[in-house]
Amino acid sequence: MRAMILAAGKGERMRPLTLTTPKPLIPVAGVPLIEYHLRALARAGFTEVVINHAWLGEKIEAHIGDGERFALQVTYSRETQPLETGGGIFQALKYLGDEPFAVINGDIWTDYDYSTLPRSLTGLAHLVLVANPEHHLEGDFLLRDGQVQVPSASVDTLTYSGIAVLHPHLFADSAAGAFKLAPLLRFAMRDGQVSGEQFAGHWIDVGTPERLAAVEALLAHI
C-alpha cells in the first residue's frame, strides 16, 4: 500500500516560522515534523510515499530528495494553486494507484503505528479518530460499532486525526480543482461506506506555536 503525506498548506497560524520555512520542515525537538511521518511509515513497511506541496515546496523537495535516506521512494505532487485537501488528493491519484492508500496530514505529530492500518477496505474509507482536543471540543464524527457516522449533535463525537485509508473510488465523481475532503467522506458515511477506529495514544495537531511547544514538552518526557 502506498501513502500520501499532505504538505501543501501555508501554515498561516504558525507565522512567522512559516514565512521562510514550510510547516512540514519546522523542527520539532530538532527534527523536521515531516520526518517523523517518513520514518514511521518506513518502520511500518511502506516503501512508496507521495507528498503534495505548494508553499515553499522546493524546500521540501530539497530536504527530502528522492526519499532514499529514509528507505522510501518519494514522489511529489506539485500544486500551482490551492487545491484544498480533496483536490490535492485527487491530483495525486495518478501516483497512488488503483488500490486503497494511506493519507496523513503533514501537520500532526503522533506515535500511531501505521502498520496497523487496514490494507483493504470493504467500503470507501477508514478513518482514525481521537478524543476531542481542547481546541476542537465539538468533534467531527461519531464512531458506532466500527462505522463512522455524521453526528446530529456534538455528543459523543470524536475528532478526525488526519490519518486515513482511502479508496480511489471515493473520488469517482470528482473533477480537477479545489475541493474539500470532508463532504466526500460525509456522503460516503450516509451510505455506510466509512469504517473507523479510535486511537488512544499520543496525537497533537501542530497548528499553532503553542501546540508545537506541547509536542516538544511531550517528547522530552517519553
Cα 167 from Cα 171, distance rounded (Å): 8
pLDDT of res. 52: 97
pLDDT of res. 55: 80
Region 140-167 average pLDDT: 94
Strand positions, DSSP E, the chain: 3-6, 27-28, 31-32, 48-53, 73-78, 101-105, 108-110, 125-130, 142-144, 147-149, 159-166, 194-198, 203-205
Q: For every residue of 77-119, which 3-state class applies, written as one string? A: EECCCCCHHHHHHHHHHHHHCCCCEEEEECCEEECCCHHHCCC
DSSP summary character for residue 132: P
Model confidence at 12, in pLDDT bands (50, 70, 90)? low
* pLDDT over 70 percentage in the chain: 96
User: Of residues 13 and 190, which shows the higher confidence score?
Assistant: 190
**Would you say residue 83 has pLDDT above 80?**
yes
Region 135-151 average pLDDT: 95
pLDDT digits (tens, 9 = 90+) for 167-203: 999 999 999 999 999 999 999 999 999 999 999 999 9
Give the domains, in start order, of the chain with CATH numbers: 3-219 (3.90.550.10)
pLDDT of res. 153: 77
From residue 147, alpha-carbon distances to 88, 122, 140, 142, 195 in Å are 25, 11, 14, 8, 4
Beta-bridged to residue 202, according to DSSP, are none
**Would you say residue 16 has pLDDT above 70?**
no
Angle (CA) 82 164 216, round 5°? 80
User: Of residues 29 and 115, which shows the higher confidence score?
Assistant: 115
pTM to 2 decimals? 0.95
Model confidence at 56, in pLDDT bands (50, 70, 90)? confident
Instruction: Give first-to-last CA distance, the chain, whole Å.
Output: 30
How high does pLDDT run on average in the chain? Answer: 93
**Would you say residue 15 has pLDDT above 80?**
no
Model confidence at 222, in pLDDT bands (50, 70, 90)? confident
Model confidence at 11, in pLDDT bands (50, 70, 90)? low
pLDDT of res. 82: 87
Region 61-84 average pLDDT: 96
Q: Which triple of cell numbers denotes residue 212?
A: 508545537
What residues contact residue 127 under an 8 Å CB cut-off, 6+ apart? 141, 148, 160, 161, 163, 164, 185, 194, 195, 196, 197
Region 35-47 average pLDDT: 98
